[in-house]
Amino acid sequence: TAIWNGLLHHYREFLPINSNTPLLTLHEGNTPLIYLAKLSEELGIDLHVKFEGLNPTGSFKDRGMVMAVAKAVEEGSKCVICASTGNTSAAAAAYAARAGIEAIIVIPKGKVAAGKLAQAYMYGAKIIEIDGNFDEALQLVRQISDTTAVTLVNSVNPYRLEGQKTAAFEICDVLGEAPDILAIPVGNAGNISAYWKGFREYAQKKGTSLPKMFGYEAEGAAAIVRGEPIAHPETIATAIRIGNPASWLLAEMARDESDGKISAVTDEEILNAYRLIASKEGIFAEPGSAASIAGVYQSVADGSIAKGSKVVAVLTGNGLKDPDTAVSVSSVNVVTLSNNEQEIREYIEGLL
């Protein structure tokens, strides 16, 4: 049908859905695959972005959360819990509200972008801030959910990856095949694992091709690249400020089975990409998302992405999530003029 009723409805046959599973939805998914004409020309590749920032809570987490919360409700749970750098908690809070159950979120104090925090407040989550990073928060909620009547909805919950794999389906549905390369930010490493699962399942059921999976960690949080956990990860891209990814092994499998790679991008590369996609293509994605574009630039430069390749970069979250970073790294000067037509006219004529 022409009406989009969300992921559980649309991809039902690919998801763990039975007659007891509520078809929860905020009409998530079906996000646009946007061709970047200017960047494609500059790089000599064919570059699209999957703009996940257009999901109901502004990130790809909605795909996994709709599935995880639906299964929690099916199993009779009254409360979900997660650790988060901000987007998972926004999605958990929204879908819990929608389903009529509670959400408890545990977040690193002072390290969650303003828009994400505002979402958790508005959706009515119980919010616990800790003096600790995401990895520590995740360890806490894993232990607590083992022995308490709360359902863990971080991506170690397998239903999260089931929901998130649908983004790979959508890319194949639009392109008619997989791209040559799927470029994606890596934080806790759930999403790269979910995409690979999705591409493999579609290849099996629909005969579509398989991409090479190119994951990008922030340099100050690049545990997989370094080959060891990082106790104190740091990056301006707070979404992926993670030093011990829970899906580490799955991400390495995605990399190795696809003949792909996982590498690191610096904060400077991330910020350059962040500004570039907004100013040159009109797409405002959050800094963590821009890691995929930063990575595409790096990989074209070092030759690991060949000229002429068909590349899809995932933009995982909306730029509006993090207004403080946007304002602080922007070089725009706002001019103050008097409330006077002549003065403003002269200023504008000077610009033309």
Distance, CA of 147 to CA of 154 (rounded, Å):
16
Say if residue 195 is exposed, middle or buried (CB neighbours under 10 Å; 0-12, 13-18, 19+).
Answer: buried
Q: How far is the CB of 345 from ligand F0G (least distance, A)?
A: 42
Q: How far is the CB of 307 from ligand F0G (least distance, A)?
A: 27
Q: How far is the CB of 253 from ligand F0G (least distance, A)?
A: 14
Distance, CA of 11 to CA of 8 (rounded, Å):
6
Distance, CA of 293 to CA of 273 (rounded, Å):
6
Q: How far is CA 183 from CA 23, 196, 228, in A?
A: 31, 11, 22
Residue 59 or 309 with smaller CB distance to ligand F0G? 59
The DSSP H or E segment spanning 249 is: helix 248-257
Give the pair of three-digit tokens for residue 168.
């790979």
Q: How far is the CB of 214 from ligand F0G (least distance, A)?
A: 13
Tracing tokens 């993670």 back to the chain, one arrives at 242
Residue 191 or 309 with smaller CB distance to ligand F0G? 191
**Count of other CB atoms within 10 angstroms of residue 352:** 4
Residue 260 or 317 with smaller CB distance to ligand F0G? 317
Among 23, 25, 49, smallest CA distance to 38 is for 49
Q: How far is the CB of 185 from ligand F0G (least distance, A)?
A: 4
Give the pair of three-digit tokens for residue 155.
């991506």
Distance, CA of 334 to CA of 128 (rounded, Å):
37
Q: How far is the CB of 306 from ligand F0G (least distance, A)?
A: 25
Q: How far is the CB of 25 from ligand F0G (least distance, A)?
A: 20
Residue 133 or 299 with smaller CB distance to ligand F0G? 133
Residue 62 or 286 with smaller CB distance to ligand F0G? 286
Residue 113 or 336 with smaller CB distance to ligand F0G? 113
Residue 180 or 217 with smaller CB distance to ligand F0G? 217
Residue 1 or 247 with smaller CB distance to ligand F0G? 247
Q: How far is the CB of 213 from ligand F0G (least distance, A)?
A: 12
The helix/strand/coil state of 125 is coil
Residue 316 zone, left/alpha/beta (φ > 0; ψ -120 to 50; rest)? alpha
Distance, CA of 291 to CA of 315 (rounded, Å):
9
Contact residues toward ligand F0G (CB under 6 A) are 59, 61, 84-88, 155, 185-191, 239-240, 286, 288-289, 316-317
Distance, CA of 34 to CA of 47 (rounded, Å):
9
Distance, CA of 297 to CA of 151 (rounded, Å):
40
